[in-house]
């Protein structure tokens, strides 16, 4: 059982991750104002002191604490620390990644320090962006100087400000759509006071706006966390750490990307080169900021070169590279540049659109940055890095690599460094790459499809299109259309089988069966709107699978209902391609393009199709 302390944006993200386990957990917030949907979780509201929380944890069998409260919730952090010590529980601190203020900002250790600094600097007109709960702490300043506080526009916040004695007429209210520059233009303060809230708290935007107006910024640093807290900064990192601390909480175990394994091997080789000592585990920092340690299976050196191998553990993900040995050779150079080379089993880029130059080793930008940043942390700016993957050339034939323009081996990929089961992140990334390649090679139209079978049907219908124009979306229809929009496609044709079409028509852009099941009531409502017979409603109340619609309904009811479903699919998808047009083709089990929905009366697919004509 897990107890999550939240109430913040990070608390909401933590719940999203923990819900994936499908097991009961608790979510505790101080107040009840945060709106959050819990499926497996139980909401707790109200403050708990350390003794009460410890009793609760023992009674409910809590095995892990997740502190995702506000960075400045010092009392909460102390309570969690004490409960963890008394009950001997691990603590994951899930928070917004710190973004240290740049040199323009004046760093303050706490609010008392901020008051001293502002008094010394002669600040007379202050705009405080530190929140309503800091009004009491800053009272010694605002009692002597003109001050405006920006707070949330809600009754509880206003009441708290007034209870602290702050004048109502000097309150400003936060507006999500109002730029920071507009606030400064309106208030014209002589200084701004804010907190070290990180990127999600808008710290960089606040500093940049103040810099443009030449207004000094004072930043109160976030309080130090207990040493026993282990910090993670991304959903992927949180999932992975829960997986390690509570094996079996998630049905499927997560793992590490090829890019993370290559980085770990590269760092192990570099440390061997620098110290002459090999290590059993290689510690690296992932792109999200988490520190992880991957086991090193082998390491050796030959003069000025060192080698290290990390065997990829993709968890329970059906990844073709799971169990592959990723070996990296590192040699220092005088170029002040990290240069990447293709070893055995790593492919070469042959088409534009992957974010790499044609002819470069297929080591994607994110793993490259990860290696560069980890090397920089060790003081190394110049090195040659050659990455090899055992049996990579043969394994590459089982991937999308040949289609997207990677020849002779695998790609070294991984945005977060962590593989979630079923490679959702990797699959979405492959979709984005495929769409980017299609655009880069000059395709003006994109034909997206759910899998190999529907793609064969659509390829047969459009032999005039290049192979790169056909992209498989799997279950990720929304992400695919968004990628098409980003790449500037004006025409997208989507082939879809009936099972996914029914789910999409209801508004589900992710159609995986684990997330969406057949909704008979929805079908009955659709049938009524389409003018189907009363008999159709009875039939729809009995079916178990969407494909039964092909045979269970009479011809007229089937035509009415399935055409409406095709139209609904297009209406759901069209807003995701705001500058273009989406056409939906509903594919029958026979392979025929049976129903069509488009903004125009004719279809490019139909004009070229050799399948049965559309109805």
Q: Using alpha carbons, select from 322, 339, 418 the residue that is nearest to residue 380.
A: 339
Rounded distance between C-alpha atoms, residue 103 and residue 594, angstroms: 63
Which fold is adopted by the domain 2-97+225-245?
Rossmann fold (3.40.50)
Q: What is the 3-state secondary structure (H, E, C) of 92-123?
A: EEECCCCCCCCCCCEEECCHHHHHHHHHHHCC
What is the average pLDDT across 368-383? 93
3-class state of residue 442 by DSSP: coil
The band of 193, judged by pLDDT with boundaries at 50, 70 and 90, is very high
Token pair belonging to 315: 């968890």
pLDDT in tens, 43-89: 998 888 999 999 999 999 999 999 998 888 889 999 999 999 999 99
pLDDT at 606 over 50: no
Please give the C-alpha separations between residue 476 and each of 451, 481, 512, in angstroms, as whole numbers. 11, 9, 8
Q: Is the pLDDT of residue 307 over 80?
A: yes
- Return residue ranges of the chain for CATH 3.40.50.720: 2-97+225-245
* Cα dist from 521 to 497, 526, 537, whole Å: 20, 9, 9
- Is residue 608 left, alpha or beta, with left meaning phi > 0 and alpha meaning psi from -120 to 50? alpha
Q: In whole angstroms, how far apart are CA 274 and each of 253, 277, 339?
A: 35, 8, 18
Q: Which residue has the tokens 């009754």?
A: 155
Enumerate the CATH 3.30.2110.10 domain ranges in the chain, comma separated. 255-422
Give the distance, in angstroms, between the CA of residue 158 and the centroid of all CA atoms in the same chain: 34
**Two tokens at 241?**
């750490």
**Closest-CA residue to 259 (of 344, 356, 346):** 346
The residues near 355 (Cβ < 8 Å, ≥ 6 apart) are: 364, 365, 436
Least confident of 110-114, 117-121, 234-238, 345-349: 234-238
Minimum mean pLDDT range among 254-263, 350-359, 594-603? 594-603
> Could you tell me the pLDDT band of residue 318, with boundaries at 50, 70 and 90?
low
Contact 142, 166 (CB under 8 A): yes
User: Dihedral, CA atoms, 396, 398, 404, 406, nearest 10 degrees?
Assistant: 10
Q: According to the model, what pLDDT value does residue 100 have? A: 65
**pLDDT of 567 over the 80 cut:** yes
| DSSP characters over 496-546 | EEHHHHHHHHTT-SB--TTT----HHHHHHHHHHHT--HHHHHHHTT-SSG
SS3 364: coil
**CA–CA–CA angle 229, 235, 241 (5° rounding):** 45
Q: Are the CB atoms for 154 and 173 separated by under 8 Å?
A: no
Rounded to whole angstroms, the Cα distance separating 363 from 328 reads: 12
| Residues forming beta bridges with residue 331, ordered by sequence position | 305, 384
**What band does 198 get if pLDDT is binned at 50, 70 and 90?**
low
Name the CATH topology of 255-422: CbiD-like (3.30.2110)
User: For the stretch 110-130, what's the b/e string if a residue is b when 16 or more beta carbons lie within 10 angstroms of its beta carbon?
Assistant: ebeebbebbeeeebeebbbbb
Question: Under 8 Å CB-to-CB from 535, ≥6 apart: which residues?
Answer: 554, 557
Domain 106-220 fold: Rossmann fold (3.40.50)
CATH 3.40.50.620 segments of the chain: 106-220
Tell me the average pLDDT of the chain. 86
State the DSSP H helix or E strand holding residue 491, giving kind and residue range, or none if neither.
strand 491-497
Q: Per-residue confidence at 511, pLDDT binned at 50, 70, 90?
A: low
The yes-or-no verdict on residue 196 having pLDDT over 50 is yes
555-573 vs 520-530: helix crossing angle, rounded to 10:
100
Q: Give the closest residue to 430 by CA, choosing from 353, 519, 527, 347.
A: 353
Ranges 20-24, 45-49, 224-228, 334-338: which has the least confidence: 20-24
* Token pair for 317: 């993900």
Tell how far CA 207 is from the center of its chain. Answer: 26
pLDDT at 601 over 60: no
């Amino acid at each position: 059982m897990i107890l999550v302390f939240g109430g913040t944006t990070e608390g909401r993200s933590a719940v999203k991750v923990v819900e994936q386990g499908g097991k009961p957990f608790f979510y505790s917030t101080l107040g009840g104002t945060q709106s959050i949907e819990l499926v497996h979780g139980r909401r707790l509201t109200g403050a708990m002191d350390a003794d009460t929380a410890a009793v609760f944890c023992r009674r409910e069998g809590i095995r892990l604490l997740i502190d995702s409260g506000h960075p400045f919730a010092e009392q909460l952090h102390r309570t969690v620390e004490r409960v963890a010590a008394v009950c001997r529980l691990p603590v994951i601190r899930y928070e917004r990644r710190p973004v240290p203020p740049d040199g323009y900002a004046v760093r303050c250790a706490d609010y008392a320090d901020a008051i001293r600094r502002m008094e010394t600097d002669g600040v007379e007109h202050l705009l405080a962006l530190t929140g309503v709960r800091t009004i009491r702490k800053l009272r010694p300043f605002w009692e002597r100087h003109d001050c405006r506080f920006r707070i949330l526009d809600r009754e509880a916040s206003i009441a708290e400000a007034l209870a602290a004695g702050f004048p109502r007429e000097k309150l400003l209210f936060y507006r999500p759509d109002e730029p920071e520059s507009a606030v400064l233009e309106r208030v014209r303060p002589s200084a701004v006071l804010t907190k070290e809230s990180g990127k999600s708290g808008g710290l960089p935007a606040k500093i940049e706006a103040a810099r443009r107006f030449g207004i000094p910024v004072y930043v109160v640093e976030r309080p130090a966390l207990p040493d026993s807290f282990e910090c993670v900064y991304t959903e992927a990192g949180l999932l992975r750490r829960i997986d390690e601390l509570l094996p079996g909480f998630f049905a499927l175990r997560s793992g590490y990307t090829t890019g993370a394994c290559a980085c770990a091997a590269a760092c192990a080789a570099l440390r061997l080169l620098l110290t002459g000592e090999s290590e059993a585990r290689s510690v690296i920092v992932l792109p999200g900021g988490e520190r992880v340690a991957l086991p090193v299976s082998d390491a050796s050196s030959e003069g000025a070169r060192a080698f290290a191998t990390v065997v990829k553990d993709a968890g329970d993900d059906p990844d073709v590279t799971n169990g592959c040995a990723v070996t990296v050779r590192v040699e220092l150079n005088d170029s002040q540049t990290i240069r990447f080379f293709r070893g055995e089993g790593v492919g070469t880029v042959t088409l534009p659109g992957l974010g790499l130059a044609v002819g470069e080793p297929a080591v994607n930008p994110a793993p490259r940055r990860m290696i560069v940043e980890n090397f920089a942390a060790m003081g190394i700016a110049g090195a040659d890095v050659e990455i090899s993957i055992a049996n990579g050339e043969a394994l590459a034939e089982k991937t999308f690599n040949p289609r997207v323009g990677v020849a002779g081996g695998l790609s070294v990929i991984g945005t977060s460094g962590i593989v979630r089961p079923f490679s959702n992140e990797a699959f979405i990334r492959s979709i984005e790459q495929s769409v980017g390649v299609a655009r880069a090679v000059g395709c003006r139209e994109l034909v997206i499809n759910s899998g190999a079978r529907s793609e064969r049907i659509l390829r047969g219908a459009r032999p005039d299109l290049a192979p790169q124009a056909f992209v498989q979306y799997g279950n990720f229809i929304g992400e695919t259309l968004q990628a098409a929009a980003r790449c500037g496609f004006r025409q997208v044709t989507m082939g879809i089988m009936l099972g996914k079409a029914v789910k999409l028509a209801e508004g589900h852009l992710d159609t995986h069966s684990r997330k969406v099941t057949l909704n008979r009531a929805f079908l009955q409502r659709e049938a009524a709107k389409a003018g189907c017979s009363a008999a159709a409603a009875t039939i729809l109340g009995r079916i178990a699978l969407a494909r039964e619609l092909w045979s269970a309904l009479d011809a007229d009811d089937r035509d009415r209902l399935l055409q409406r479903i095709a139209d609904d699919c297009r209406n759901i998808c069209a807003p995701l391609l705001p500058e273009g047009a989406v056409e939906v083709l509903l594919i029958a089990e026979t392979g025929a393009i049976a129903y069509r929905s488009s903004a125009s009366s004719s279809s490019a697919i139909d004009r070229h199709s050799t399948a049965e004509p559309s109805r």
